[in-house]
């Protein structure tokens, strides 16, 4: 009677350690690929939200500037104002007016011509992974003394 091991002598094959090492390497590679894919999806979601927030901030600022320049609203109406976007869930906006201190930048003659200039800033907030982020767009507007709060 011949033993099975006698029949296998001289034949080449993989040992159990080689098979386990190969499975371990493949497993680590697959896990690494899944982690990279997950990170890529999260990055894409952040970029899409940031793009949408930028588009909304630009649109909101443009609308505010049109309303101010046509006299339908005063620049001061946008100081510490906020709201949500009906068409976009998860996005909200806030605006503020801040004075521009021109005397620190320009000489007195130029600074006088720029008196009443303010910075209108629109921020659009959005959440990614539980963390709130925002994009900010700003423009210079003229604020009359009569409309300051």
- Decide if pLDDT at 147 tops 60: no
Per the structure block, which two tokens stand in for 16? 């159990």
Full domain range(s) for residue 19:
13-147
Domain assignment present for 127: yes
Domain assignment present for 4: no
Domain assignment present for 40: yes
Domain count, the chain: 1
Report which of 60, 70, 71 is spatially closest to residue 134, judged by C-alpha positions. 60
Domain assignment present for 2: no
In three state form, how does the secondary structure of 57-96 look?
A: HHHHHHHHHHHHHCCCCCHHHHCCEEEECCCCCCCEEEEE
Domain assignment present for 38: yes
User: Could you read off the pLDDT of 74-105 as tens digits, one per residue?
Assistant: 888 999 999 999 888 889 999 999 887 776 66
Domain assignment present for 61: yes
Domain assignment present for 140: yes
pTM score, two decimals? 0.67
User: Could you read off the pLDDT of 10-61 as tens digits, one per residue?
Assistant: 567 778 888 899 999 999 999 988 888 888 887 888 889 899 999 999 999 9
- CB–CB of 135/71 below 8 Å? no
Domain assignment present for 7: no
């Amino acid at each position: 009677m011949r033993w099975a091991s006698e029949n296998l002598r001289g034949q080449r094959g993989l040992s159990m350690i080689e098979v386990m090492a190969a499975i371990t390497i493949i497993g680590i590679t697959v896990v690494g690929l899944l982690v990279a894919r997950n990170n890529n999806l999260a990055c894409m979601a952040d970029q899409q939200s940031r793009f949408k927030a930028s588009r909304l901030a630009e649109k909101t600022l443009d609308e505010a500037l049109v309303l101010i320049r046509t006299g339908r609203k005063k620049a001061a109406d946008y100081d510490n104002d906020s709201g949500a976007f009906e068409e976009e869930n998860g996005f909200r906006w806030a605006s503020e007016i801040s004075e521009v201190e021109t005397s620190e930048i320009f000489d007195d003659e130029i600074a006088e011509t720029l008196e009443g200039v303010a910075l209108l800033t629109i921020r659009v907030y959005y959440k990614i992974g539980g963390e709130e982020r925002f994009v900010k767009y700003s423009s210079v507007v003229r604020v009359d003394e009569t409309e300051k709060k």
